[in-house]
Amino acid sequence: RKSWAAGDATSRGVYLALMAHKGEMGYPTALTASGWGFQDVLFNRQEIKLARPLGSYVMENVLFKVSYPAEFHAQTAAECAVRLHPEVKDRIEDIDRITIMTHESAIRIIDKKGPLHNPADRDHCLQYITAIGLLFGDITADHYEEETASDPRIDTLRSKMEVTEHKAYSKDYLDPNKRSISNAVQVHFTDGTATGRIECEYPLGHRFRRKEAVPKILAKFSANISTHFSLKQQRKIEEACEHSGRMQKLSVSEFMDLFLV
């Protein structure tokens, strides 16, 4: 027990895997064992209570990042900004302020002011992502590199952004039946006019937009494997993945062999 407690999580994981491989059965008291169970050790002797019965909820609510290489809390803001691009692209110098209504998690995680030091910093900045969408009408990985980041218009737009929490967005973000990731963007000009307030509740790839996302996910998959495999091998992989019945007939080793170069 002392060795178990002193070891790191990886060591314990390896140890458990070896036990399972040798046929060791599981223990019904892993949570509740006095002194050594998870409840006593990690939860201050409090009983673990599940938010819902164990089932398929996690898999049914998987998020696919389809549209933009940006932190997920900003995906809908990115979509709003890209939709506004045609309306603002010729009036960038006339922008007075930009309002972004968002949810609490986005404010806590990606609401950033001041210098951004590298691509990882930039793709986790709600204001930077929104500025790129407004300026270029798209967001790609290259937009986080120094060549684009040095464009002075980006920081100028960031300085004009007002980020506020919309309580309903925060509530729906936590609602297990919705899990929305809402953002709304509106651009105000110096002459007193403004764009419409563009709102997006669910990003492409959310379960409520799954059908819309599937063709784009497949296209993204094909584009990625085309950079590594020959056309013939790419086609074999696609054929195996496009039909669940065909994939289920393959053994794990047969499936993995498709990816051997």
What pLDDT digit, counting tens, does each position of 190-247 carry? 999 999 999 999 999 999 999 999 999 999 999 999 999 999 999 999 999 888 788 8
Domain chopping of the chain, boundaries: 2-49, 72-203, 209-257
Looking at the predicted structure, is the pLDDT value of residue 4 above 50? no
The mean per-residue pLDDT over the stretch 170-176 comes to 96
Beta strands in the chain (DSSP E): 95-102, 161-165, 183-189, 198-200
Q: Are the C-beta atoms of residues 136 and 143 closer than 8 Å to each other?
A: yes
Alpha-carbon gap, residue 206 to 22, rounded angstroms: 40
Averaged pLDDT for residues 151-178: 97
Please, which pLDDT band fits residue 26 given cuts at 50, 70 and 90? Answer: confident
Q: What is the per-residue pLDDT across 30-57, written as a single tens digit (0 to 9) for each?
A: 889 999 899 999 999 999 988 888 889 9
The residues, ordered by sequence, that sit 6+ positions from 139 with a Cβ below 8 Å of its Cβ are: 68, 69, 70, 78, 82, 129, 132, 133
**What's the pTM?**
0.80
Instruction: Name the architecture of domain 72-203.
Output: 2-Layer Sandwich (3.30)
Asked if residues 84 and 195 have their Cβ atoms less than 8 Å apart, the reply is yes
